[in-house]
Structure 1
Amino acid sequence: FLVPWVIFLILWSIPLLMVEFSLGKETRKGPVGAFAAFLGKNYTWMGAFVAICTMAIMFYYSVVTGWALKYFVAGVSGDLLGGVDHDAYWRQFTTANTSPIYYHLISLLVASGIIYQGVVNGIERANRILLPALLALLLVGTVRSLTLPNAAEGLNYLFGFHGASLTDPAMWLEALSQSAWSTGAGWGLVLTYSVYMRQKDDITLNAFITGFGNNSASLIAALAIIPAIFSLTGSSQEAIQALQAGNQGLSFIVIPQLFNKLPGAQILIAIFFLALFFAALSSLIAMLELATRMLMDFGLSRKRALPLVALLGAVMGIPSAYSMDFFNNQDWVWGMGLILSGSFFTFAVIKKGVAQFREKYLLVAHNDIRVGVWYNWVMKFLIPVEAACLMFWWFYRTWDAAGWWHLTSIYSLGTCLWQWGGLILV
């Protein structure tokens, strides 16, 4: 898995990150204004789709941030220790319960307070604290994980090379999905932050640092979790089943269960969920800044735009905080929407001319990394094919011949088309 994951970092994520850095630095506007300035007003709707798609993710991502905060508090207080039924605890917390709403609102309030202080005093200062703290927490978890008995089995699972698996198309598509979604390429977040870049800041170097930095952090997180799971489960088969529990099941059910088997469980659980909260909060800040920047491009000041965005996020996040079905539907619809967002960035470069784009933005004197002709081929041919394959693959995996068009279905082509269509019409 790691081989195609790194390949797609080069052949999807980093090329799109270069586009985002370039558009933000050139236009000094958020996604809506950037597409209008770069392609003309007839293509403003593409930037609006990118921005609102990411805003829709923000509405439920603040819920995820709230979950992490709740579990950190529960870890510190000892509520997750002893003979707790962690599956029942999770279901009780997330099923028709108002508690997730409160934590969603608290998380949004924390992120809004940081952004209210501005770019330098708020966002940059917060990132100088959050990111090193997150890395430190991950490293502590990694050291503890690697010193457990049988941790080598987890390392073998993570890094073991099985050449035959490279012939499996599904693995390549899952690796592409992971790279596309974890780096944030095509979300408009990097574009928003690059509005504040200095004129001589290096676009290509920043794109590579962002991409490889994300992958490095992901590997450290894997080292903190996977060896521990293999050590604390009864067999390799049980460990693999635990890893297949899905993001929510793994983070909020399996890991607290397993950490309870270790000395110092309360500290380990608190460290894990504090790291998860920091990671989620840093992403939530970026999404909130994107939405705020969009209103600022229409002439509002930060101090007027932010309360409107925060209020909208607070209200629109409540359904996802209250209903897991609604949460899963929004995660599906707008996660798939990000593939369209990436396609719109690709279209923008193709329409302008890939060779001209590379010459104007990537081959400038102050860029240390020289981007070759390979970039032209990746943007013009490979990324469109990758996007089409991703769309087809995920819709194929969830295909329901009887109800594919249902708006109320959690996972269907129809629910995506209805909601995307509504967004585009608006």
Structure 2
Amino acid sequence: MENRSQWGSRLGFLMAAIGSAVGLGNIWRFPATAFENGGGAFFVPYLFALLTAGIPLLIMEYTIGHKYRSSSPRSFSKISKGMEWIGWWQVLISFVISTYYPVIIAWAIMYAYFSFGTQWGDDPTSFFVGDFLNLADPGTFGFIVPAVMIPLIVVWVLVLFFLGRGVKKGIELANKIFIPTLFIVFLIIVIRAVTLPGAFEGLNAFFEPDWSRITEGKVWVAAYGQIFFSLSIAFAIMITYSSYLPKKSDITNNAFITGFANSSFELLAGIGVFAVLGFMAVQSSTPVEEVVKGGVGLAFMVFPEIISQMPASGFFGFLFFASLFLAGLSSMISISETYIAGLQEKFSISRGKAVTFGGGLAFIVSLFFANQGGLNLLDTVDYFINNYGVALAGLFEVVAIAWFARSLKDLQQHADSVSDIKLGIWWRICLGIITPAILGYMMLQNLKTDLSSAYGDYPIDFLFNFGWLVAIGAMLIGAIITVKKWPAKDHEA
């Protein structure tokens, strides 16, 4: 394994890890989640979740990748042969996400173009679902939408180009360009946003603490959920990325830097988004809480409406959608690298073949999201693969390592041997007790909700075929792949 690819520098690794963590969810998920869960008071459970779950899990995944110097499935198999399927399950979750994530990036490309001349007109919502996506009813897929398919091909060409160039000349180079550019672009957006009329009202709504909410269990679950999904944990990404670190790398320090950089960007995004929402509220003479929206709706329906009312609207719109493009592309590269690395090791093939096969298959599947039913399909697959893929895989991962393999002390010794910050018993308590308890509770709450009512009011058969089956299928296929033995030459590693 001496020939394993390595990052060219520590900065290169950190840029890549931060690039993976900082994605679309930072911009459109965090601000709405914080606002809905107590505003400024939400930062207490959020920070607690970061220190008791986010960073401890990051340290664990960095340590696994660094110690075993392999892809996620191979690393798990080295801990215990019976755990390899968890690694493949995580890889397949990333594969599923990589089939719809580039579609959102493709939308961002088109909206950067639409920004000039505010081509979405007076009704951005109707334009998005009607003129742009030609949205069909759930379960109906219709024809391919050229305005989505063409930029989707552009996204895949870029992703496969950087992946094909390898770790140092491809992934590291891309993130050294994208991440500083993203921070500069978003900083310009925030500076402009806070100078708009009404910005103070928006920021006041965002930061004003509602301390009565802090005792609610669902607020704490929301904080842990945000940290968990935001840091790219249990996607197989951080294990894969850390496996390319040189042998003498400070694991714990890198985890703290990644965690706090990601949270800093989320805070910056919250300031920018709520300053703009405050402007919209003042312009339309409505309370801030009535214009708050998260997810796709915020980016492609609410923001275009706000941009239309702003001075230099074309330039501001271009910057906003360029920031979505940059955040999405850096995350997309990291998501795809998980199965590229897994394929290379399991089937003993070249990187070029792994990129061609893995990336090519993901590209073909992604075309299903570029048709008239793409938005409904994307919404359903995203919901189920996150709640019953990522969160459940994370629960299995931490329970398997802490309770069954009992590897936490061994991993702690490895992390301490290369890190300035030494891990105490707090780290093992967080991973052995707090994180499994919170993730388990989250899972029960999700199941209770989804078994009592249909998600998004979609037809039951649609949710079963494209929600439950996709999430369960990722687990089953992961288990099937483990049947194939690793190449003999890899056993010496």
TM-score between both structures, scaled by the size of structure 2:
0.80
* Paired residue type of 2:171: I
* Residues 368-418 of structure 1: per-residue CA shift (max 9 Å, x gap): 212211111111111111111111222233333699995532799855664
Moved more, 277-286 or 341-350: 341-350
Partner of 2:414: 361
- The alpha carbon displacement at 1:361 in A equals 2.2
* Residues 189-226 of structure 1: per-residue CA shift (max 9 Å, x gap): 11111111011111111111111111101111111111
Partner of 1:37: 78
Q: 1:5 touches 1:175 (CA, 8 Å); kept in 2?
A: yes
Q: 2:280 touches 2:291 (CA, 8 Å); kept in 1?
A: no
- The alpha carbon displacement at 1:165 in A equals 1.1
Any residues of structure 2 matched to 1:45-64 within 5 Å, and which?
45-64=85-104
* Paired residue type of 1:344: F
Aligned equivalents of 2:336 and 2:466: distance in 1?
28
Moved more, 352-361 or 277-286: 352-361
- Partner of residue 335 from structure 1, selected from 386, 397, 403: 386
* Paired residue type of 2:338: L
* Residues 159-202 of structure 1: per-residue CA shift (max 9 Å, x gap): 22221110222222222111111111121111111111011111
> Is 2:65 aligned against 1:24?
yes
Aligned equivalents of 1:15 and 1:207: distance in 2?
8
Moved more, 133-142 or 326-335: 326-335
Partner of 1:86: 124
Query: Which consecutive aligned stretches of 4+ in structure 1 deviate over 4 angstroms post-superposition?
Result: 235-238, 401-407, 410-418
Aligned equivalents of 2:208 and 2:394: distance in 1?
32
Number of aligned residues: 421
Aligned equivalents of 1:232 and 1:47: distance in 2?
45
Secondary structure of the 1:408 match is helix
TM-score between both structures, scaled by the size of structure 1:
0.92
- The alpha carbon displacement at 1:420 in A equals 4.8
Aligned equivalents of 1:371 and 1:296: distance in 2?
33
Q: Alpha carbons of 1:412 and 1:161: their partners in 2 closer, same or farther (altered >3 Å)?
A: farther
Partner of 1:183: 231
- The alpha carbon displacement at 1:28 in A equals 1.6
Partner of 1:326: 377
Aligned equivalents of 2:435 and 2:50: distance in 1?
12
- Partner of residue 343 from structure 2, selected from 295, 299, 303: 295
* Paired residue type of 2:252: T
Q: Which runs of 5+ in 1 are unaligned?
A: none
- Partner of residue 221 from structure 1, selected from 254, 262, 269: 269
- The alpha carbon displacement at 1:48 in A equals 0.7
- Partner of residue 384 from structure 1, selected from 436, 440, 459: 436
Partner of 2:289: 240
Q: 1:54 touches 1:334 (CA, 8 Å); kept in 2?
A: no
Q: 2:205 touches 2:288 (CA, 8 Å); kept in 1?
A: no
Aligned equivalents of 1:166 and 1:51: distance in 2?
36
Partner of 1:395: 447
* Paired residue type of 1:4: P
Q: Note the aligned Cα RMSD (angstroms).
A: 2.3
Partner of 1:200: 248
* Residues 45-83 of structure 1: per-residue CA shift (max 9 Å, x gap): 1111011011111111111111111111222x43536x4
- Partner of residue 305 from structure 1, selected from 354, 361, 369: 354
* Residues 118-148 of structure 1: per-residue CA shift (max 9 Å, x gap): 1111111111110000000111011111111
Partner of 1:344: 396
Q: 1:319 touches 1:327 (CA, 8 Å); kept in 2?
A: no
Partner of 2:364: 315
- The alpha carbon displacement at 1:276 in A equals 0.5
Aligned equivalents of 1:177 and 1:114: distance in 2?
30
- The alpha carbon displacement at 1:254 in A equals 0.6
Partner of 1:268: 316
Q: Alpha carbons of 1:276 and 1:109: their partners in 2 closer, same or farther (altered >3 Å)?
A: same
- Partner of residue 134 from structure 1, selected from 182, 187, 190: 182
- The alpha carbon displacement at 1:89 in A equals 1.4
> Is 2:152 aligned against 1:100?
no
- The alpha carbon displacement at 1:88 in A equals 1.5
Partner of 2:30: none
* Paired residue type of 1:86: P
Secondary structure of the 2:433 match is helix
* Paired residue type of 1:423: I
Any residues of structure 2 matched to 1:368-379 within 5 Å, and which?
368-379=420-431
Q: 1:399 touches 1:413 (CA, 8 Å); kept in 2?
A: no
Q: Alpha carbons of 1:301 and 1:264: their partners in 2 closer, same or farther (altered >3 Å)?
A: same
